[in-house]
Amino acid sequence: MKQRVYEILYRELVENYANSKGRTNTADFWLTISAISFVYGLITCITGLASYIPYGFLYAVSLGGGILIVLSILLCLPTIMLMARRLRDSNNDPMLIILLLVPILGWLALLYLLCKRTSPIQNRRDISNNDANIYNNEVSVYKNEGNVYNDAANTLQKQSVSGLFIVGLLVLAWLVNSSGSAMINHNFMVEEFAYSNLEPSALTKKANRLLESETATTEARSIVRTYYENLGKEDYHGAYRYLSARAMERYGTFELWEQAMTKEEVPKVKAIQLDYVSQDQDDDIVVNYMGFTVTFEDNLEPLLVRLHNEGKGWGIVAIEAAEED
């Protein structure tokens, strides 16, 4: 069984890598598709397991994703050729593969055609009478309208693997792929939660590496917290000094800013979570940006507090409504 599987996969994916003129029967086609699906699922599962490595989430996802992209590029052509041979084997025009470009209905129609049994020799448009005789003698002979193989012909053509094995491989491929995807999604949520709360994680480490500082994110969050604490205590001078020069220019003077703040009710802060970290270069100056989502008690609308640092320390540059995910 194992040797036969290797032979089929080698023939379909290597020997016929760019060949669309041959034929592939139903069993060999679905065995090849199942094997490809299993490899994809196995890589996804290994990536999911590797994402549990401390601080290794980004490396695992990047490496696993890169391998899947390379594999997809390598298997794109032989998979198309495989489908073309399967369509020809079921007495359909290989050009029907264009149904891949038609969402839903085209995919369902193509799936139906790929599942059709091998067409009897006498009904094959692509085989002449002489070729049919040779094919019948050397490969396979159909009885009862082409649905039953002749025993003598089966001695010349090795039978494909059983349908039960193919179904089992497809189910196994689905299981490993689903488990791998679930692990990746779970660890991404863990990483995202740790990142937003400035806890140790691969994403937090990446942000600190971008800012070239291990304390920049905590310093910026402390500024946001102190800013709202001062507003709550009506210490407007204390809050005003955490604004950036750009924000101060927007209001004009401290008095105008104070008037605007006294008209607003300052709610009690519930949580301050990191939203993004980025970096830009303005002329010869490197400017770092950071955003925090501030949630309040009493289910008030959250706000996004934007800060930047031009080398003179972090300052609040804007406060706006936070966008919902």
Tens digit of each residue's pLDDT (9 = 90 or more) over 68-93: 999 999 999 999 999 999 999 999 99
Tens digit of each residue's pLDDT (9 = 90 or more) over 18-71: 999 889 999 999 999 999 999 999 999 999 999 999 899 999 999 999 999 999
- What does the alpha-carbon distance between residue 253 and residue 168 come to, in Å, rounded to a whole number? 73
Residue 292 has pLDDT above 90, yes or no: yes
- What does the alpha-carbon distance between residue 298 and residue 310 come to, in Å, rounded to a whole number? 36
Bridge partners (DSSP) listed for residue 305: 292, 319
How many other C-beta atoms are found inside a 10 Å radius of the C-beta of residue 296? 16
Using pLDDT thresholds of 50, 70 and 90, give the confidence band for residue 119: confident
pTM: 0.76
Complete domains list, the chain, with CATH: 2-193 (no CATH), 202-321 (3.10.450)
Read off φ and ψ for residue 220, nearest 5 degrees: -65, -40
The proportion of the chain whose per-residue pLDDT surpasses 70, expressed as a percent, equals: 87
pLDDT of residue 154: 42
Tens digit of each residue's pLDDT (9 = 90 or more) over 293-325: 999 987 888 999 999 998 888 999 999 998 865
Counting beta carbons within 10 angstroms of the beta carbon of residue 309, is it exposed (0 to 12), middle (13 to 18) or buried (19 or more)? buried
pLDDT of residue 174: 96
pLDDT of residue 323: 80
Count how many Cα atoms sit within 13 Å of the Cα of residue 269 in the half-sphere of its side chain: 21
